[in-house]
Structure 1
């Protein structure tokens, strides 16, 4: 049941972290990566990323490294975001306990002495089902590792990342509620096998996409003006999960089992362009996942869905001085997911102020122009002692019980 939503964190542990440990693993972040600096600044980055994180947002910005800049290593960037408007997570354990109590009493038949306990357990379970009927929760998680080697001719980077999304729904049958309420009201006595007539189920869809890429960039003179271009060809492997289980057969650990999972491998590419206008302005354009791909889930209980990977094109602009960077990014194409879910199209604005040479504070706002996802306020800070170690943290908070966090560690050598 969408009880599994209770543990988007469990999904993260069972899918995201092992991938990260092997070296790769949104959503959702606004796009398909998490970057603590960019996410703290409203999900911007197309024109404001540093050379060491450009491979995640716009590979063209790798040319912005200065002669004194060294090799940059992201090891790692990790993040997650969850929206749970109905507080489904808080209801999960209570529901599971109610199912267990009712099953223990009803299984194998009920004696006269058991009737009061059966009525109480049935009433409790009916109330729990009413409380989650139609509830949904959404979550994303991601991780990345990247190595960027700057130079004046052809800066390049190795990147491996993964981003995942999960959408879970409680599909509760009114017939189940009516049956359990009739037991609670003393109008019916449960009989062995009655649990087979209950049809309430949980529907869960999940996707994890792994990217393994090599990015290159170069600055060209066009009509006497420097313009940088970057591309990231990448191998892309996708794992899809289509989970459906009766309330009586539900098991939290089943979501990622093989019978609900299928995989697909293909080729894709990211690209970007950037140019400076005067001393304080940068314009950028990013296009991620230039090759569209539609991948079908397994058919489970007669149900299947299609996960859509499609180009996401985002122009951006940044204003920067020695102490201040401000940025604006606006998607001109939607972010697609499963076909049964709505599309999103993001706009973000944010700023960073460098209080000290080793301390930066950031804030921003990210909105979904299609009103599918919750709009969020973002904030964070960065610590960069000696400009060799960079620790960046970010948080996101929005309506509908939406929250998220990102942590990132960079090294420059």
Structure 2
């Protein structure tokens, strides 16, 4: 219990598929994607540690507890303990159609895109006594609920000269708050009832970016103009990032970057990646990230043109 106290583990994952049909009049893409965010933490009651230490350090107390367990069952010890473990997770899936068109505005090419989408969200709020915690119980319906709604993404990009591109994107422009299941835990010692409930926040994420590029190098920078929200019980983040890509060969791209949370609520990370072109029709991209507080991750992308 002393080792677990204060520890928290977080994980994020995402996957997506897009089928794009370019066209000079109106480009169309069918998009489905999903992202998941999870957190596991413990709430260790100091009284539990004191109680167990008293058993460890006193033969008289240990004898009383053993006799009580014989009389009332072996679960009598854990019924006197109050520490809990909590697992909260959100899985959000989008199913949309992206529509895009390029305009000429005073000689400046400007591309505009919108993605109306159906959005389904599953929420998990698994909170129980730390002594009864089972990772497989996350999926039980008593801890899970879901919600379905409409949302919208939009973006605009403009090319200035041959080397500069600026862009602005907005994701999830329709705000929505979704409550998890309300879980009740009874304190075995005092009979006190505690309620565990949270709210998942879907809110607009607006990002601005700029890039300088030529045939060999691309340099980019972007920053969020709004905060990234998640569960209401957690602090929000707001990210800025820089990146570079070098293409020494026609079939090879090398990439590096750095992303920071200006709110200092998430780990700052370094990223690295490599891209391969197998002919004119297949591209494979691999990336990894590493940061403070034991943060690491990886990703892969496959693109095929017909």
Same-fold call, TM cutoff 0.5: yes
Partners of 1:332 and 1:410 lie apart in 2 by: 30
Q: Which runs of 5+ in 1 are unaligned?
A: 1-128
Partners of 2:267 and 2:82 lie apart in 1 by: 31
1:177 is matched with which residue? 49
Contact 1:260/1:298, CA 8 A, preserved across alignment: yes
Partners of 1:289 and 1:325 lie apart in 2 by: 28
Partners of 1:195 and 1:220 lie apart in 2 by: 68
Quick check: 1:401 aligned with 2:294?
yes
Partners of 1:256 and 1:320 lie apart in 2 by: 47
1:247 is matched with which residue? 130
Q: How many pairs were matched up? A: 285
1:326 CA drift (Å): 1.1
Contact 1:358/1:385, CA 8 A, preserved across alignment: yes
Quick check: 1:195 aligned with 2:60?
no
Higher relative contact order (CA 8 A, sep 6+): 1
Q: How high is the TM-score relative to the length of structure 1? A: 0.68
Partners of 1:247 and 1:241 lie apart in 2 by: 17
Contact 2:108/2:160, CA 8 A, preserved across alignment: no
1:224 CA drift (Å): 4.0
Q: Could you give the per-residue CA deviations for residues 230-284 of structure 1, whole angstroms, max 9, x where no partner exists?
A: 0000000000011101122111101122110000000000000011000000010
Aligned-CA RMSD value = 1.0
2:8 is matched with which residue? 136
Give structure 1 regions of 4+ aligned residues with deviation exceeding 6 angstroms.
none
Contact 2:124/2:180, CA 8 A, preserved across alignment: yes
1:216 CA drift (Å): 0.5
Q: How high is the TM-score relative to the length of structure 2? A: 0.91
1:213 is matched with which residue? 96
5 Å-filtered alignment, 1:56-205, equals: 129-187=1-59, 188-189=61-62, 190=65, 191-192=68-69, 193-205=76-88
Q: Could you give the per-residue CA deviations for residues 180-215 of structure 1, whole angstroms, max 9, x where no partner exists?
A: 111111252233212111111101111000000100
SS of the residue corresponding to residue 183 of structure 2 reads: coil
Partners of 1:386 and 1:228 lie apart in 2 by: 27
Partners of 2:254 and 2:275 lie apart in 1 by: 6
1:375 CA drift (Å): 0.3
More strand by share: 2
Contact 1:359/1:382, CA 8 A, preserved across alignment: yes
More helix by share: 1
